[in-house]
Structure 1
């Protein structure tokens, strides 16, 4: 049986996953006779969760398209400006609610996403199989710097995080997923991911330092870890970070 050869071209940031000689150009690759677009895209190093659109011979297809000899495959990431409404996106539907699960290397990012109001599960002991199960059962977006994790079959939504520092990672995710309009800061506990609620000063007595009680009038608490929070210097630094992401966030919070 003669081999099947297809020509591939990956666009924009998807090239980051390819071997250097294959980046930014069309190249041929030998395929198994039953190989699908998903199989070959991942065999070449690109996690399927990073792909938004596939064209085979100019026709929009899904991940299950079996490749034939001579096929020309164009693979695109998320589109920022181009309207691709008439074409077939490779995921059936977007997630109704934005929720995340982060791998063991992204603890700092997980805290900052909680700061911005996004439900984010994180435990540095999560195994890959556990992350996969949480993503499937709770419809969460997987955040990771491990491309092999994103290749797991049941993970449908995920982001390979390119930046190394948590604040830069936060900006990357907010920009990539267009989350600026969904930021609702200071709603979740940074440690527990549980909702914060307002309490009066009397309820904070014995749980916050005396000096803090003298200087501040507004307090919130987490009912899981029982910690009490107030608008001190740390809050101001976090406020500055959120304002740098979403300048209108302060006005929105004030109206909430």
Structure 2
């Protein structure tokens, strides 16, 4: 029988029962258990983990646990570069792309508004989301911790906030999104790039009030929807502005 002592840090404690939060606790491990197996058995998705120390040494997820091991598990570090220590992932993602589960449609809409390639379909099944993430190097966004435990998902975020604007703020802070923002560069409906279009080419498609008051237009190359700087655009800009200013 193998017994190990675990200590989880910062927001990883949110996944633990109250009696195990912010303190070291000892538990019996499954036979031939790896760090990843036990971390997830205790309720923490592996995608939320950035660093694992066993007896003070950085290890990978597949490290087998031995009797008496002391395991410290850390989330993403906001200000400290720990890349020389990391052994839990083969490589970081160079391009931020997302796939959101069926319950995060409003968040997907806001991420597209900010210019982040975000796949979303409320008919996506969990296995489809996992497959897309693995095949296209996407970060899974979900409030379902069991989805994040799927083996083929290497990068994911458990979204803690409940309201879309708060969810967007959470991701901006956690993933440092401000420096990668390209506002209004993607279609909010289908995620395809937007391009400028001459007003003369689309003037017959415009409502009279829009035709009179606006001169600059964008169109989606896929669904051919038209966008202009109306009240909806201004509302979205007001949502983004404080996130960029704070960064």
- TM-score (ref. length: structure 2): 0.97
What is the aligned counterpart of 1:83 among 81, 84, 104?
81
Structure 2 residue matching 1:75: 3-state secondary structure: strand
1:116-131 correspondence to structure 2 within 5 Å: 116-131=114-129
User: Does residue 221 of structure 1 match 2:219?
Assistant: yes
Shift of 1:88: 2.4
Structure 2 residue matching 1:55: 3-state secondary structure: strand
Query: Which stretches of structure 1, 4 residues or more, deviate above 4 A after TM superposition?
Result: none
- Give the structure 1 partner of residue 99 of structure 2: 101
The answer on whether the counterparts of 1:99 and 1:119 sit within 8 Å (CA) in structure 2 is yes
Structure 2 residue matching 1:226: 3-state secondary structure: coil
The answer on whether the counterparts of 1:207 and 1:227 sit within 8 Å (CA) in structure 2 is no
How many residues matched? Answer: 247
- Give the structure 2 partner of residue 243 of structure 1: 241
- Give the structure 1 partner of residue 71 of structure 2: 73
- Give the structure 2 partner of residue 252 of structure 1: none
Structure 2 residue matching 1:206: 3-state secondary structure: helix
1:1-256 correspondence to structure 2 within 5 Å: 3-247=1-245
- Decide whether aligned partners of structure 1 residues 178 and 67 sit closer, same or farther in structure 2, where only a CA change above 3 A counts: same
- Decide whether aligned partners of structure 1 residues 143 and 4 sit closer, same or farther in structure 2, where only a CA change above 3 A counts: same
Shift of 1:242: 1.3
The answer on whether the counterparts of 1:204 and 1:219 sit within 8 Å (CA) in structure 2 is no
Matches of 1:176 and 1:156, distance apart in 2: 17
